[in-house]
Amino acid sequence: MYKLFKDFITNQNAGVILDGKTSIPFDPDNTDYQTFKKEVLAGAELQDADGNVMTDASAYIGTLP
């Protein structure tokens, strides 16, 4: 399960947290980021920063770099 987290200064989504432990920034060069995108597109759960399951996760992934 992945959960979005926000940048404290901009209040914009800055990355995801994997299983409540590992922080993955939105960086196209990061292999964990690439894995995150593939897994969500394949059906892995994505939650918003408030913990709500995103029903439009695939569409959201399409907006990321």
pTM over 0.85: yes
* pLDDT tens per residue across all 65 residues of the chain: 999 999 999 999 999 999 899 999 999 999 999 999 999 999 999 999 999 999 999 999 999 99
Predicted pLDDT of residue 29: 96
Which residue is listed with tokens 């940048």? 7
Name residues whose C-beta falls within 8 Å of residue 23's C-beta, 6 or more positions apart in sequence. Answer: 5, 15, 16, 17
Predicted pLDDT of residue 35: 97
DSSP tag of 53? B
